[in-house]
Amino acid sequence: MNFHTFYKLFIASILMLFFSTKNIAQSGTLTVNQDSKITQLLELKKGLEKENKLSDGYTIQLYYGELDKANQTLRKYRGSYSNWPASIEYETPNYKVWAGNFASRIEAERALIEIQKNFSAAFILKPERRK
């Protein structure tokens, strides 16, 4: 047997071996043990974001002053708008009604145009991030 014949037989044997084997893959299940507090923390974070507590963005201030008037303003706002959440914030000595949680200034400006139809004194502010 010469070298070329031996080489062809060797290559053919390798190819047959390669194509005749079955692919073997592992199968199994994965179990993830998640602390139940993770779900609670995610819900808390969602609530804080909705209430502008974690925002690095912009909000619209509708009112500042006494609590009774702040509550009236909040009720009036909620009766007219559902697009943007609103809340009463307290900063000594005033209560403030804030609406919306906007990521960019342009989003806040678009909302302000709509909100000023009922709250002419409303303005945009960028609250400091609370700790």
Domain covering 56-125: architecture: 2-Layer Sandwich (3.30)
Mean pLDDT in the chain? 84
The residue ranges of every structural domain in the chain are 56-125
Give the tens place of pLDDT for each residue, 34-77. Answer: 888 878 877 877 766 665 555 578 999 999 999 999 999 999 99
* DSSP assignment of 5-63: HHHHHHHHHHHHHHHHSPP------------HHHHHHHHHHHHHHHTTSS-SSEEEEEE
Give the tens place of pLDDT for each residue, 91-107. Answer: 999 999 999 999 999 99
pLDDT score recorded for residue 100: 94
Please give the model's pTM, rounded to 2 decimal places: 0.58
